[in-house]
A = this chain, B = another copy of it.
């Protein structure tokens, strides 16, 4: 059996340990929800204050030029592009993940006229499915969303699939797809591959260019630590940029936004994927998170993530047997993102009990305890403490306290 001292020794030798001090983390909390909202980079508070007090209050409208606000979205996009292994000038920050998905999905259907199927995975994050449903209903051209299990995807790629839309790491289970293999399978049948990187960017190695991925979207507020509701990103393979037509043609996507021409002419390249004016305060915070992610070697992040997720699963099995917990996250390293999901029929009150003790994960309906692993700030010994809290809650039945039954607006 492993001991807490052994884990503390791992922390003492952790090459990523120095990154923890780059974040503000509250005392007494084991934070296992960085896949829902990443912790605040220490730099973000100062940066946001400077944007407000100097750039906005003192610079006023001049800051669009003088403080470079106009360059923020493409610049942060370029940085994220490096993080996800995308070609230069193929990634930008804009809107929310859902809006970006709408833009790229609509564009994908236009790139494959005559094909009518959006292929996705059953159990994909709901917004991805909803956006596809809404788009198909809007177009009234007979498009449909078809969902299959992960194993059925290759066989479901028939000649009517316009675009295969998959989330690389599943929000619910933490299972990770083989992006290169599935992209190749889609291409072999003439379909485009659109990847949702919400639970991947900043968490696992990504090589979009190498995989030949056509389109991608992703989230700024999870493993990129960009702040609550941080703007999202999108990626368009350079090979598609000349041909692609976005559905939402806002003025900032125009070739000459300040010429105020009456007709839309798209900007060349990735800026055409923008729409309107981006939220600068939120963008500035996002850049702080992205900058830290770029500094940390991804190989070290991945190694620590795999070690910590494996450790967490091992501790749960060693220390909490016989309580009805069922780990649903894949054991095989290559199939696992950076989270551990555990099924239990009382997952809701158990998670509320954990949170009341300072161990913050989250609940995903109907019955999953979800624990995100963020190697940039998570210590091995904290996982021991988290599992000890879980063990105590299960052993004592503390989760039965009626105050843990009440549902809340956001889970």
Contacts of A95 in B (CB 8 A): 95-96, 99, 276
Cα of A387 to Cα of B221 in the assembled complex, Å: 47
Cα of A25 to Cα of B254 in the assembled complex, Å: 32
- Does A45 interact with chain B (Cβ within 8 Å)? yes
Contacts of A7 in B (CB 8 A): none
- Does A411 interact with chain B (Cβ within 8 Å)? yes
Chain A, 28-54, contact with B by CB distance < 8 Å: what is the 0/1 string? 010101001101100011001101110
Q: How far is the CB of A244 from chain B (nearest CB, A)?
A: 13
Q: Given A49-B48, A98-B248, does the pair A410, B262 have CB atoms closer than 8 Å?
A: no
Chain A, 363-389, contact with B by CB distance < 8 Å: what is the 0/1 string? 011000000000000000000000000
Q: How far is the CB of A171 from chain B (nearest CB, A)?
A: 9
Cα of A125 to Cα of B262 in the assembled complex, Å: 9
Give A261's nearest chain B residue, CB to CB: B126
Q: How far is the CB of A337 from chain B (nearest CB, A)?
A: 17
| Interface residue stretch chosen among A132-140, A173-181, A313-321 | A132-140
Contacts of A281 in B (CB 8 A): 48, 227-229, 279, 281-282, 285
Query: Contact: B134 with A247, CB < 8 Å?
Result: yes
Cα of A279 to Cα of B264 in the assembled complex, Å: 27
Among B133, B276, B409, the residue within 8 A (CB) of A96 is: B276
Q: How far is the CB of A58 from chain B (nearest CB, A)?
A: 5
The 4 nearest A-B residue pairs measured at CB: A96-B276, A134-B249, A98-B250, A279-B282
Q: Given A133-B264, A355-B62, A410-B64, does the pair A250, B49 have CB atoms closer than 8 Å?
A: no
Q: How far is the CB of A366 from chain B (nearest CB, A)?
A: 8
Query: Contact: A60 with B280, CB < 8 Å?
Result: no
Chain A interface size range = 35 or more
Contacts of A56 in B (CB 8 A): 37, 40, 44, 227-228
Q: Given A40-B52, A65-B409, A70-B409, does the pair A137, B31 have CB atoms closer than 8 Å?
A: no
Give A56's nearest chain B residue, CB to CB: B40
Q: Given A264-B133, A281-B285, does the pair A62, B360 have CB atoms closer than 8 Å?
A: yes
Cα of A64 to Cα of B362 in the assembled complex, Å: 12
Contacts of A58 in B (CB 8 A): 24, 26
Q: Assuming A97-B276, A227-B280, what are 10 further A-B pairs, CB within 8 angstroms?
A: A31-B60, A40-B52, A45-B53, A51-B228, A56-B227, A62-B360, A99-B276, A129-B264, A134-B247, A172-B260
Query: Contact: B249 with A131, CB < 8 Å?
Result: yes
Cα of A135 to Cα of B131 in the assembled complex, Å: 16
- Does A61 interact with chain B (Cβ within 8 Å)? yes
Q: Given A56-B40, A248-B102, A249-B133, does the pair A260, B229 have CB atoms closer than 8 Å?
A: no
Contact residues of A between 64 and 112, Cβ < 8 Å to B: 64-65, 69-70, 95-99, 102, 106, 110
- Does A395 interact with chain B (Cβ within 8 Å)? no
Cα of A51 to Cα of B52 in the assembled complex, Å: 13
Q: How far is the CB of A121 from chain B (nearest CB, A)?
A: 11
Q: How far is the CB of A279 from chain B (nearest CB, A)?
A: 4
Give A147's nearest chain B residue, CB to CB: B262
Cα of A96 to Cα of B278 in the assembled complex, Å: 8
Q: How far is the CB of A259 from chain B (nearest CB, A)?
A: 6
